[in-house]
Amino acid sequence: MIVTHLRLKNWRNFRDVDVNLTDRTYLLGANASGKSNFLDVFRFLRDISKPQGGGLQKAIHDRGGIQKLRCLRARSNPEVLLELELATSTEADSPVWRYKLGFKPGKKGSQQTLISTEQVFFDGKNILDRPDEEDRRDSARLTQTALEQIAANSKFRDVATYFGGITYLHIVPQLLKYADQIGGKLLEDDPFGQGFLDRVARSPPRTREARLKKIARALELAVPQFKELRYVQDGVNGRPHLEALYSHHRPNAGWQREEQFSDGTLRLLGLLWVLLEGDSLLLLEEPELSLNDAIVKEIPLLLNRVRGSGKRNARQIVISTHSEALLSNPGIDGKGVLRLTPTPEGTTISTISEAEAISLQSGLSVAEVILPKTRPQSAQQLALQFQ
């Protein structure tokens, strides 16, 4: 399944958004325009639905409370609303599922958030509509979504499973290189890769080896003198490691461990791993960081070739970026480009215009046609402030 449509009301800096999504959606916008906040919609639903425990109240608490989630431009309207349509592909005539969740603050003095609406539609038929009579008799029920409850989501568990499997990984190389020295508690779901090696270690051995072989072949093309990649465990404490062998003027030069890898190698390795890891919705935030522009330019083609399970459109990917190199790839479908524009009334999201579509069809790239329109108008004056 993929998310084909998304509506937001009063979510963070989005007062009112209504957009279609494709199997490859590119988010373009200036700094602080809301790209990360857009991606967090899906992480939020994952946190509610994840099988190891989560729920609405924890997902809201982990984000600083509903005051931090609700759009500042909401004014007198306290409700936050998320609505998604899921279909088998972008070509489907109608969605299979539609899930709608609205919530707002409880009574004054209460620390809990209450559900204002929760609806599920399957093939256009309403199979859940809350609040219902039981909710009205016992308002405490409105602190939990049906989505997070196994006993309540049996009729739409496919939706809960889909949301719970959403993947986000934004490796910060220093956290991985110095994980042992940093120590301490990992962030839940470890979005920044401090425990990435444990993630690799948890994979079945055959699967792990197959993935690492594919990644090694890619790294041979992208990393100078790279020859081999292998998984090992420390003989002293059993900690997992990745080791790489490079062509070297010293014939007996040894294997290097991940703390000796370049930031770009670690970022690319993490990107390739997560692309091979499953077929759930994948969220990529600025995948171009630390990578050479020649590699960055090939990322769209790489994403198009990774379909998951060998099925067309099997895996949906949402990418935030402002990389000219990445967006210069001619393989990007303009229909999947969303432009985020900050305004006094909140960030708006727009698709490409008819004129922009004609420019792309004539051979120009997204970097040439759309990216310049996302840049801050006064950016060139920045250095002048320090004269």
Q: Name all domains of the chain by residue range, CATH numbers in brackets.
A: 1-166+321-374 (3.40.50), 168-279+290-315 (3.40.50)
For residue 319, what are the β-bridge partners?
26, 284
User: What pLDDT was estimated at residue 251?
Assistant: 62
Task: Specify whether the CB–CB gap between 177 and 266 falls below 8 A.
Answer: yes
Task: Specify whether the CB–CB gap between 303 and 317 falls below 8 A.
Answer: yes
Task: Specify whether the CB–CB gap between 11 and 80 falls below 8 A.
Answer: yes
Dist CA 333 CA 293 (whole Å): 20
Residue 83 backbone class (left: φ over 0; alpha: ψ -120 to 50; beta: rest): beta
Sheet containing 80-87, strands listed edge to edge, beginning at the edge strand earlier in sequence:
14-20, 2-11, 80-87, 97-105, 113-122, 125-130
Residue 249 backbone class (left: φ over 0; alpha: ψ -120 to 50; beta: rest): alpha
DSSP 70: B
Closest C-alpha among 222, 254, 258, 227 to residue 242: 258
Q: What is the reported pTM?
A: 0.91
Reported as type and span, the H/E element at residue 43 is helix 35-49
368 HSE (CA, 13 A, CB side): 13
Reading the chain (387 residues) residue by residue, the pLDDT tens digits are: 899 999 999 999 999 999 999 999 999 999 889 999 999 999 999 999 987 777 999 999 999 999 899 988 777 788 999 999 999 988 888 999 999 999 999 877 667 899 999 999 999 999 999 999 999 999 899 999 999 999 999 999 999 999 999 999 888 888 888 877 776 677 777 788 888 999 999 999 999 999 999 999 999 999 888 999 999 998 778 889 999 998 875 666 678 999 999 999 999 999 999 999 888 899 999 999 999 999 999 999 888 876 544 444 468 999 999 999 999 998 899 999 999 999 988 999 999 999 999 999 999 999 999 999 998 766 665 566 666
User: What pLDDT was estimated at residue 382?
Assistant: 58
Length of the chain: 387
CB burial of 102-116 (b: ≥16 within 10 Å; e: otherwise) equals: bbbbeeeeeebbbbb
**Encoding tokens for residue 154?**
């049996």
